[in-house]
Structure 1
Amino acid sequence: MPLHQQFSRRFIDRFMTFEPISLIIFALMAGGIFAFLTLTGEVLEGDTHAFDEEILLALRQATDLAVPIAPSWVTHAVGDITALGGVTVLSLMTVLAVVYLLLARQTAIAIFMFLSIAGGWVVSSALKLGVARPRPDIVPHLVEVHDMSFPSGHAMLSAVTYLTLAALLSRAQQYRSTRIFLLATGILLTFMIGLSRLYLGVHYPTDVLGGWCAGAAWAAGCWLLARRFIEREPKNSISIR
């Protein structure tokens, strides 16, 4: 059989033979996409407006909407947490992770990780421009913002970056406990960053939910592709098993 036919057959066989964990990841990806599309429809129709406003108002003092309900030190901590979802920090984390994988001779995962995260960032920007939802103005913003509101860039990009980093870095780990720790850390950071955007008054709750759904779906899709086609063992290039 010619080489290109062997390659094609191995690629198709590898894609079609799903393991149970791969089916779970696929279900998470499909569920995230469905939830995002459903939520986007509700947002565009204005059905979530009352819910969004109620949550934002509940996080502020009734006598002064510029003052959060928590002490000032909490506001300072939330500002630090939200910075973890900013472009500067996410870019630095991505570069450091890619360099680590390259030094560990995990070239395939390093390249795939960079392309996955960069692609997620492009999708996030496109979704914001497509929906073009203005930022909430019901409460004063505690940080300066300029772009559109839905989906939350911090929520989506943190999910894309931290979940993808956790999923792909875990493939280079020998022990199950370290893989679980990486995934739990990625989920925790994504969750905290999304909530910080609500507290600061710069996003509606549905913005954050939309960002989580889209980002998690993207990360799950990347994880699924990595499990199917990228070797876990150190290699100098991507290989098909």
Structure 2
Amino acid sequence: MRVTGTPRRHPVFTHATAVWLRLRLNEVGPLLALICVSGLGYGFFALAHEVGEGSTEGLDRKILLSLRNPADLSDPIGPRWLEETMRDITGLGSVFTIVFLTVAVAAYLMLSGKRRAGWFVIGAVGGGELVSTVLKLFYHRPRPDLVPHGMEVFTASFPSGHAMMSAIAYLTLATLLARIDRRRRVKALVLALGVTATLLVGISRVYLGVHWPSDVLAGWCVGAAWASLCWFVALQLQRRGEVEAPDPPPAA
């Protein structure tokens, strides 16, 4: 008698496939991380050079003015609720939010028995904040004065600290969480949420008139480059056993 139905995969084959994919990721991951660091780092310095030459001024002004009511530059385009929503979104990149989120994730990792991974997260985000501060002091670009600001600002303009720290925190944490779950749909969702949060924070800064578009683009570049560098370092430390790997052990 012929038996119909979907054949079951042998557990040994499934386990071997999972191990092979993980080994391939460990080989390709560091190379991909270095390529991202190099490309994004070059993009940041190239953009910084163009900003210093004044080449981006025309496009910066055009984009900033396109987001304002021509009859009243203090009024951003769109309904009132959109402006309030943008203020809420920009808060996702504030110092308090980033610090709170980082400490919460680090505490979770430490309580889960991954103390060194928790300290690594703190070091990655804290180091990024230090880099952001140094870059702002070095370039010292004035904030936009073309339109009234939609909120108070206290630091220099280039690069955007909110855009940079959002890229560092949300991309780093999204990558970490994506490695914990082996389901591709979950990985894609977590990474998409990290990228979306990063993009929305940067867009909100331009909408509120507190940053030139080139500031935000530079913040994204250097923030993503730093997150890629942290990814590379994490892979090397995990390979040496100095930082706990977030991946769960393969199912038997």
TM-score class normalised by the smaller sequence: 0.7 to 0.9
- Offset of 1:169 from its aligned partner? 3.2
The 5 A counterparts of 1:73-88 are 73-88=81-96
C-alpha offsets along residues 134-176 of structure 1, whole Å, 9 cap, x if unaligned? Answer: 0000001010112100000100011111111112233333434
Q: Is the 8 Å Cα contact of residues 117 and 244 (structure 2) preserved in structure 1?
A: no
Equivalenced residue count is 221
Between the aligned partners of 1:193 and 1:239, the Cα distance in structure 2 is 31
Q: Is the 8 Å Cα contact of residues 41 and 222 (structure 2) preserved in structure 1?
A: yes
Residue 117 of structure 1 is matched in structure 2 by: 125
Q: Which runs of 5+ in 1 are unaligned?
A: 1-16
Paired residue type of 1:55: I
Residue 106 of structure 1 is matched in structure 2 by: 114
| Identical-residue share of aligned pairs (%) | 44
Between the aligned partners of 2:114 and 2:71, the Cα distance in structure 1 is 56
CA radius of gyration, larger in: 2
Aligned residues: CA RMSD: 2.0
Residue 58 of structure 2 is matched in structure 1 by: 50
Between the aligned partners of 2:37 and 2:123, the Cα distance in structure 1 is 18
Between the aligned partners of 1:239 and 1:182, the Cα distance in structure 2 is 20
Residue 20 of structure 2 is matched in structure 1 by: none
Residue 209 of structure 2 is matched in structure 1 by: 201
C-alpha offsets along residues 58-113 of structure 1, whole Å, 9 cap, x if unaligned? Answer: 00011110111111110011010000100111111001100111122122211111
**TM-score, with structure 1 as normaliser:** 0.86
| Structure 1 position 238 matched with structure 2 position 246 | no
Between the aligned partners of 1:84 and 1:168, the Cα distance in structure 2 is 19
Between the aligned partners of 2:37 and 2:191, the Cα distance in structure 1 is 16
Between the aligned partners of 1:67 and 1:187, the Cα distance in structure 2 is 28
Residue 90 of structure 1 is matched in structure 2 by: 98
- Offset of 1:22 from its aligned partner? 2.7
**TM-score, with structure 2 as normaliser:** 0.83
Runs of 4+ in structure 1 deviating by more than 4 angstroms, as ranges, are none
